Amino acid sequence: MPTGTLRFDASEVREVLRMIESESLDVRAVTMGVSLRDTASESLERTSARIYEKLMRVADRLVATTAAVHADFAVPITTTRLSVTPLALVTEAARAARVVPAAHALERAAAELGVDYIGGFSALVEKGITPGDRALIDSIPEALATTARVCSSVNIASTRAGLNMDAALEMGRVVKAVADGTAKDGGIGCARLVTFANIPDDNPFVAGAMHGVSEGECVINVGCSGPGVVLSALKRLRASGEAHDLSTVAETIKRMAFKVTRAGELIGREVARRLGPPARFGIVDLSLAPTPAVGDSVAEILEAMGIEKAGGPGTIAALALLTDAVKKGGVMASSSVGGLSGAFIPVSEDAGMVAAARAGALSLDRLEGMSAVCSVGLDMVAVPGDTTAETLAAVIADELAIGVFNNKATGVRIIPVPGKRAGESVVYGGLLGEAYVQEVSRFRADAFVRLGGRIPAPLQALRN
Partner 1 sequence: MKAISDDALRRLVAEVTREVAAAPAGRPAGEDARPRGRRAVVTTTGKNQRGIVAKIAQAIADAGGDIVDISQTLVSDYFTMIIVVDASALTVSFAEFKSRLERAVAALGAECLVMHEEIVEALQRV
Closest separation between CB of residue 12 and partner 1, Å?
Answer: 5
How far apart CA 263 and CA 334 sit, in angstroms, is: 10
User: With helix as H, strand as E and coil as C, how does 376-434 read?
Assistant: CEEEEEEEECCCCHHHHHHHHHHHHHHHHHCCCCEEEEEEEECCCCCCCEEECCHHHCE
Q: How far apart are the C-alpha atoms of 301 and 233, rounded to whole Å?
A: 10
* Residue 14 beta carbon to partner 1: minimum distance, rounded to whole angstroms: 6
| Shortest distance, position 278 Cβ to partner 1, whole Å | 17
Q: How many CB atoms lie within 10 A of CB 430?
A: 9
Binding to partner 1 (CB under 8 A): which residues in 244-263? 258-259, 262-263
Q: Which of 60, 73, 337, 455 binds partner 1 (CB under 8 A)?
A: 73
Nearest to 156 by CA among 455, 462, 460, 461: 455
* CB 13, min distance to partner 1, A: 5
**Given the complex with partner 1, which of 6 and 427 has the nearer CB atom?**
6
Q: Which is nearer to partner 1, 155 or 334 (CB)?
A: 334
Quick check: 108 binds partner 1 (CB under 8 A)? Answer: no
Q: How many residues bind partner 1 (CB under 8 A)?
A: 35
Among 235, 273, 363, 446, binds partner 1 (CB under 8 A): 273
Of the pair 234, 393, the CB lying nearest partner 1 is at 234
CB burial class (10 A; 0-12, 13-18, 19+) of residue 144?
buried
Q: What DSSP designation does 346 have?
A: B
Residue 335 within binding range of partner 1, rule CB under 8 A: no
CA distance 135 to 245: 55
Binder among 42, 71, 184, 463 for partner 1 (CB under 8 A)? 71
User: Site map for partner 1, 159-178, x if CB under 8 A?
Assistant: --------------------
Which CB sits closer to partner 1, 75 or 161? 75
Taking CB under 8 A as the rule, does residue 17 contact partner 1? yes
Q: Count of CB atoms within 10 A of residue 266's CB? A: 18
Only segment of 35-43, 65-73, 162-170, 219-227 that touches partner 1 (CB under 8 A):
65-73
Q: Residue 46 contacts by C-beta under 8 Å, 6 or more apart in sequence?
A: none
The minimum distance between CB 65 and partner 1, in angstroms, equals 8
d(C-alpha 356, C-alpha 309), whole Å: 6
Kindly indicate which of the ranges 11-19, 29-37, 192-200, 360-368 contains the residues binding partner 1, using the contact rule CB under 8 A: 11-19
Q: Which is nearer to partner 1, 108 or 273 (by Cβ)? A: 273
Does 126 sit near partner 1 (CB under 8 A)? no
Do 118 and 135 meet the contact criterion of CB atoms below 8 Å apart? no
E strand map for 203-353: 218-225, 279-285, 337-338
Q: Binding string to partner 1 for residues 294 to 333, with x set by CB under 8 A, is what?
A: --------------------------------------x-
For residue 305, give Cα distances in angstroms to 221, 253, 261, 297, 321.
31, 11, 22, 13, 10
CA–CA gap between residue 362 and residue 184 (Å, rounded)? 27
Report which residue type is found at 243: A
Among 14, 37, 444, 450, binds partner 1 (CB under 8 A): 14
Quick one: which of 98, 96, 120, 104 has its CA closest to 49? 104
Query: Is position 10 an interface residue for partner 1 (rule: CB under 8 A)?
Result: yes
Separation CA 140–CA 172 (nearest Å): 12
Asked if 20 touches partner 1 (CB under 8 A), the answer is yes
Give the count of alpha carbons within 13 A of 181, CB side only.
21
The answer to whether residue 270 forms part of the interface with partner 1 (CB under 8 A) is yes
Per rule CB under 8 A, is residue 72 in the interface with partner 1? yes
* Residue placing its CB nearer to partner 1 in the complex, 14 or 444: 14
8 is a site residue for partner 1 (CB under 8 A): yes
Work out whether 440 is an interface residue with partner 1 (CB under 8 A).
no
Contacting range for partner 1; rule: CB under 8 A; set: 67-75, 160-168, 282-290, 310-318: 67-75
Q: Residue 7, interface with partner 1 (CB under 8 A)?
A: yes
Q: State the minimum distance, in angstroms, from the CB of residue 72 to partner 1.
A: 5
Q: Is 295 helix (H, G, I), strand (E, B) or coil?
A: coil
Q: Is 3 in the site for partner 1 (CB under 8 A)?
A: yes
Residue 62 vs 394, nearer CB to partner 1? 62
The residues, ordered by sequence, that sit 6+ positions from 39 with a Cβ below 8 Å of its Cβ are 47, 50, 51, 54, 90
- Residue 194: burial class (beta carbons within 10 Å; 0-12, 13-18, 19+): buried
Asked if 68 interacts with partner 1 (CB under 8 A), we say: yes
**CB of 270 or CB of 368, closer to partner 1:** 270
The answer to whether the beta carbons of residues 123 and 91 sit under 8 Å apart is no
Q: What is the pairing mode between strands 279-285 and 218-225?
A: parallel
Give the residues lining the site for partner 1 (CB under 8 A).
Answer: 1-8, 10, 12-17, 19-21, 65, 68, 71-75, 258-259, 262-263, 265-266, 270, 273-274, 332
